Amino acid sequence: MTERQRLDLLQRRKPHAHAGFFSRPHMSRRQLFRSAAGGLGGYFLGRELAGGEVVRAAGAPVRNTARNVIFLFLQGAPSHVDTFDLKEVAGVTPTDFAPETLNGVRFPVGLMPRTAAVLDKVAIVRSGLSWALAHPLAQTWFQIGRNPTSALGRLAPHIGSVVAIEKEPERRPDQIFPAFIAFNPANQPGSGYLPQQYAPFKTRPNASGLASTEHGPGRDHFDARWELLGRLDGSLRAEGSPYGAAAESFGKLYEGARDLMYNPLVSQAFSFSEEESLRYGGTAFGDACLLAKKVVAADQGTRFIQVTSNGWDHHQGIYDRQEVNGQNVGNNLYARCGELDPAFGALVEDLEAEGLLDETLVVIGGEFGRTVGALTAGREGRDHYLQMFYAFAGGGVRGGRAIGSTDATGAFTQDPGWSRFRDVRPEDIEATIYSALGIDWTTVRHDDPLGRGFYYVPLSDEDVYAPVDELFV
């Protein structure tokens, strides 16, 4: 047994309750030009990338089966043994979970019927393993694909920001949406040391569309003021400005924000009807999944979308079902699955109906799993645990199966189910996403401020992590 395996085993045997002592290390995100850009500024800040060599390993294999990614992040850590790696415990598992075996996959059909209906499109990785049990640390780790406390971890961009910079050369001149959009963001890393152009454009769903894309006094008034602004200082913000790159970036900020204003494409993609909302569950999470589908369908340059669902930290009352007017409410598994299930089911169905599922990789995951077996005494919940799941649909994934398996209780990986013969780590998921998008996951950028070289996937030169290719074959 290696030292790493020994430490893993020790951590597994000492699951613990909520640990709030760790504060996620991060770089502050500048909010420059917020008022001028109507809250849209972060995306449009300077497009210039500091010079530096980008090195890719010769012949690194990539899948290149997807154009887009929709990442559904279940923040708080869902119980794997109650959802995508169901382990029934006599006298503990609620009977209304109504488990069934679908294509060899045991699943709580009663808890997530809409997901069960599309399970033939879903591949579940049941051999997942987190590196940490503290929420902020593990959440950031999953989203940047590396240890946040390492030197480069503190500068590392979100996976979506790497996708954005890699896909920039493929953007058409007429594409106006940000490359990376984050709906319902919380504890979300930014673009790290990469330019703010590649930071997540953070927003929340609103039936009437994006805020600040119309001028209060009216369009004629806005157009007149825009023309006046151009006459006053347009030349100072244009390419070749005597004030340098900062002024040029300021001009691009203005132009980019202007493109989103009074634009029917923006209105169509970011607004929705009550009927559409109800199909996705009528929740903030469901509305965000609906908008994710609409943004992908708009084909306006967005390549990575994250939708965050909060409230999965069920230390107590995990099965404490509460209903109001037929809706599951409160902080319990029924309420959270009541949001996830209709939204995910509708998302997969609609992407397929519109011919977008084959080119859109949908990923579901949280930061870790939860304790197995009986519920915690006196609290009737589940505490933090390293074992976890990941779920995938679309983007070339062959669904209707589980990859890897755990023991009878869900405590340990019994069969990893893939070529590396070990647990699947967040770094492997990062490599899988890049590979599916046709991005060379062995890339090393030599433009980082520390001059150490930024590896898209850590230790790729030592062949430590790799894409889970079994998802696609």
> What pLDDT, in 10s, does the model give residues 284-307?
999 999 999 999 999 999 999 999
Cα 213 to Cα 222, 256, 305: the distances in Å are 11, 12, 20
pLDDT digits (tens, 9 = 90+) for 88-103: 999 999 999 999 999 9
Confidence (pLDDT) at 380: 98
Question: Would residue 6 count as lying in a domain?
Answer: no
Q: Is the pLDDT of residue 57 over 90?
A: no
Q: What one-character DSSP code corresponds to residue 414?
A: E
> For position 254, what pLDDT does the model report?
73
Note the pLDDT of residue 56: 75
Q: What is the pLDDT of residue 5?
A: 54
Q: What is the CATH number of the domain that holds 390?
A: 3.40.720.10
pLDDT of residue 364: 99
- pLDDT tens for each residue of 417-450: 999 999 999 999 999 999 999 999 999 999 999 9
Q: Which residue has the higher pLDDT, 240 or 127?
A: 127
Instruction: Say what the pLDDT of residue 255 is.
Output: 75
Region label for 68, one of left (φ > 0), alpha (ψ between -120 and 50) or beta (otherwise): beta
Q: How confident is the model at residue 250 (pLDDT cuts 50, 70, 90)?
A: low
Q: Work out the pLDDT band at 310, boundaries 50, 70, 90.
A: very high
Residue 83 lies in a domain: yes
Within a domain: 394: yes
- CA–CA distance, 45 with 374 (Å, rounded to integer): 51
The pLDDT of residue 433 is 99
In a domain, 4, yes or no: no
- Predicted confidence at residue 34, as pLDDT, reads 37
Predicted confidence (pLDDT) per residue in 336-352, tens digit: 999 999 999 999 999 99
Mean pLDDT of 378-388: 98
Percent of the chain surpassing pLDDT 90: 71
Distance CA 19, CA 169 (A): 42
> Residue 27: is its pLDDT beyond 60?
no
Q: How far apart are CA 342 and CA 113, in angstroms?
A: 8
Q: Give, as one character, the DSSP assignment of residue 29.
A: P
**Higher-scoring residue by pLDDT: 27, 282:** 282
Rounded CA gap, 295 and 297, in Å?
5
Residue 77 has pLDDT above 60, yes or no: yes
Dig out the tokens for 467 from the structure: 């894409």
203 and 186 Cβ atoms separated by less than 8 Å: no
Burial of 182 (0-12, 13-18, 19+ CB in 10 A): buried
Question: With 70 as the cut, is the pLDDT of residue 114 above it?
Answer: yes
User: Buried b / exposed e across 190-216, counting CB within 10 Å, b at 16+?
Assistant: bbbbbbbbbbbbbbebeeebbeebebe
pLDDT score at 460:
87
pLDDT at 32 over 60: no
**Domain contains 167:** yes
Separation of alpha carbons 435 and 251, rounded Å:
35
Strand pairing partners for 385?
369
Q: What is the dihedral of CA 449, 451, 452, 457, to 10 degrees?
A: 50
In whole angstroms, give the CA distance from residue 72 to residue 196.
Answer: 23
Tell whether 100 is covered by a domain: yes
Of 214, 221, 324, 320, the C-alpha closest to 267 is 214
For residue 246, the model assigns a pLDDT of 57
* 110 in a structural domain: yes
The yes-or-no verdict on residue 64 having pLDDT over 60 is: yes
Residue 241 lies in a domain: no
For residue 329, give both structure tokens: 């409410």
pLDDT category of residue 211 using cuts at 50, 70 and 90: confident
pLDDT grade for 46, boundaries at 50, 70 and 90: very low
Q: How confident is the model over 197-204, as a mean pLDDT?
A: 92
Give which of 163, 213, 206 is closest to 183, Cα–Cα.
Answer: 206
Cβ contacts of 271 within 8 Å, gap of 6 or more: 206, 207, 208, 209
Lowest mean pLDDT among 51-55, 143-147, 449-453: 51-55
For residue range 121-172, what is the model confidence (pLDDT) as tens digits? Answer: 999 999 999 999 999 999 999 999 999 999 889 899 999 999 999 999 999 9
- State the residue range of the domain holding 127: 53-211+272-472
The pLDDT value recorded for residue 52 is: 64
pTM: 0.87
| Domains of the chain: total | 1
* Pick from 130-139, 185-194, 271-280: least confident: 185-194
Of the listed ranges 167-176, 256-265, 365-374, 399-408, the one predicted with least confidence? 256-265
To the nearest whole number, what is the mean pLDDT of the chain?
88
Q: Read off the pLDDT of each residue in 349-375 and give the average, rounded to a whole number.
A: 99
Q: What does the block give as tokens for 252?
A: 């691009």
**Per-residue pLDDT for 15 more than 60?**
no
pLDDT of residue 28: 36
**Positive or negative torsion for Cα 133, 138, 142, 146:** negative
Between 394 and 232, the higher pLDDT residue: 394
- Is the model more confident about 184 or about 59? 184
